[in-house]
Structure 1
Amino acid sequence: MPAAITPPAVPMAKSMALPHISSPDQKRKIICFSDFDGTIFMQDTGHILFDAHGCGSKRREILDEQIKTGERSFRDVSEEMWGSLKVPFDDGFEVMEQTLEIDRDFQSFHNWCLANDVPFNVISAGLKPILRKVLDTFLGEEASARIEIVANDAEIKDDGSEWKPIWRHDTELGHDKALSIAEARSEAELTCENGTVPLIVFIGDGVSDLPAAREADVLFARRGLRLEEYCIENQIKYYPFDSFADIQKRLEQIQKEDAEKTAGKGLPAIFNPRANLWRRVSSQQAVPRFAIMSPSKEEKMFLWPEAFSELKTPQFEVNEISASIVPPAQA
């Protein structure tokens, strides 16, 4: 399997700044990054819009296939899909509000994040104005404001005659989720004055989440969907989940075990060494930088290295995570 290619640390925007870690008695900081469509919500916001007010489901399925085969880039196809919309924003949102279904336990999980000082960030290939409006509606504006959204921006004309994505990155993906998490790691590096580093968590459902997921220490994949399928096929270590209640329970367990083994200091008990080579050096030393490769075809997203590891402490076994690779029927 090809060696991991670690992205460079990029200075992170102020709005994504991570909490300062200073108290030696403090539990290790957990920072969550989550996909949106198919993960927090069961449906895809873009698909709902395209099917109702744009190119339609048949054309959308053809375009989706062109992405999968590599005939066209995600960015190219997405521009056609968004460009097919001819509906004012508020009118388009009506069909999303009627169709979208939020994960039954997400609100409780988000409340747990707030109560435990766990930053929760959405990382999406969608359009930020849409995602913010959805969160405002389903969670309320106060709770929604506590969630940072890292996504593409958009220019939408008042009469709905033009929907134009403003891409976050100049790549074929439009938004390189791996690079966004690398930015978070760069900021986390600055918080390690006492040698303590946070645990990075990624939550997703589809194969397009792999570039971001490979940067995380802990990966959660929605059970029965594409991301889990590829984790099983490629022996990628992950935790399956049916709802965010499963994620909360597992993170509480991980946090407890980490505190027992590390007292919240130094490296986490579970960490991703290839995405965290800078963790191997003192926070006072120079941090290595590496070139980033943004996959342009679905096949490249499958090339996940065996990146997850653990400190050599006796209690927490790698097999616990590996067991989740086996589908329940075979366990």
Structure 2
Amino acid sequence: MLILSDFDGTITSDDLTNRIWDAHLRYDWRKVLLSPAGGGQLTAIELLQRGYADVDRSALELVDELRPHAALRPGFEELLALCARRGWVFHVISHGLPFYIREFLPPGTAFSCFDAVFDGRWRVSVPEAVPLGPGDDFKIRVLDQLKAATGETATVYIGDGRLDYPAARRCDRIFAVQGSALDALCARDGVPRTPFDSFTEICAALDDGGTVDGARAPSCRGDDIRT
């Protein structure tokens, strides 16, 4: 089984890019950036490029600012341990940046995200390992690459945001943070999902007769960006 999870607002309770932009952008970025992004005038990569271009703090400075807000959602390390025991493939897919994802994820947790370099301003790009054609969705592209690389066909998506929705809909089972944009979008469109507040609930849900791609899942004991 392949289990994919968003990072900001999903693994972390707080959205860390939101934190950075709230602190360092000198304009109403929700109005300037989210409105066109929601209307399809900005892609995810364009959204992150434009927002981070106006952030003038280094990775070290930003990590120090984020540390008090970067607590992991309860049960996350339990899920990692479960995946290791059961032989499930776990991978984080994020539109965030590696300097903070790497800092706050437990060591060795696999992840894919946008690339970024800082030379007085942040320059965000798509990683070479995930080439995107016109109209391609980054998270869908990573999902397809992981399925091809691992041979896994049963898929689970864990997320909270609007930007999670396209990839989540490609998966066999969706877990959506309770009350999140992903939860609301699934409800609006009649897409089955399981709301959750902690990763412990996800384990319990899979253990309690849950199915993925028509097969019983193995036992499992033991307005923001939302990137």
Pairwise CA RMSD: 2.3
Percent identity, aligned pairs only, is 23
Alignment TM-score, normalising by the size of structure 2: 0.84
1:74 to 30, 44, 50: 44
| Cα distance, 1:109 vs structure 2 | 2.1
Task: Please give the alpha-carbon distance, in whole angstroms, between the structure 1 residues aligned to 2:149 and 2:25.
Answer: 40
Contact 2:156/2:212 (<8 A) preserved: no
Which position in structure 1 is the counterpart of 2:225?
Answer: none
Task: Please give the alpha-carbon distance, in whole angstroms, between the structure 2 residues aligned to 1:244 and 1:44.
Answer: 17
Which position in structure 2 is the counterpart of 1:182?
Answer: 144
Which position in structure 2 is the counterpart of 1:43?
Answer: 14
- Aligned-partner SS, 2:113: strand
1:87 to 47, 57, 70: 57
For residues 16-61 of structure 1, the C-alpha deviation after alignment (integer angstroms, 9 at most, x for no partner) is xxxxxxxxxxxxxx22100001110111121111222x31462344
Question: What is the count of residue pairs matched by the alignment?
Answer: 213
- Aligned-partner SS, 1:125: coil
- Aligned-partner SS, 2:174: strand
| Cα distance, 1:247 vs structure 2 | 0.5
Change (3 A) 1:153 1:174: farther
Contact 1:221/1:239 (<8 A) preserved: yes
Task: Please give the alpha-carbon distance, in whole angstroms, between the structure 2 residues aligned to 1:78 and 1:166.
Answer: 9
Task: Please give the alpha-carbon distance, in whole angstroms, between the structure 2 residues aligned to 1:188 and 1:88.
Answer: 36
The code of the aligned residue for 1:183 comes to Q
1:167 to 108, 126, 137: 126
Q: Which structure 1 residue ranges, 4+ long, deviate > 4 Å from structure 2?
A: 171-175
Change (3 A) 1:125 1:232: same
Structure 1 unaligned runs (5+)?
1-29, 190-196, 258-268, 272-309, 317-331
For residues 75-129 of structure 1, the C-alpha deviation after alignment (integer angstroms, 9 at most, x for no partner) is 3232121111111211111111022232122122222222332221100111123
Contact 1:125/1:174 (<8 A) preserved: no
Which position in structure 1 is the counterpart of 2:2?
Answer: 31
Which position in structure 1 is the counterpart of 2:201?
Answer: 246
Structure 2 unaligned runs (5+)?
217-227
Change (3 A) 1:239 1:87: same
1:130 aligns with 2:104: no
Task: Please give the alpha-carbon distance, in whole angstroms, between the structure 2 residues aligned to 1:117 and 1:72.
Answer: 38
Task: Please give the alpha-carbon distance, in whole angstroms, between the structure 2 residues aligned to 1:97 and 1:71.
Answer: 33
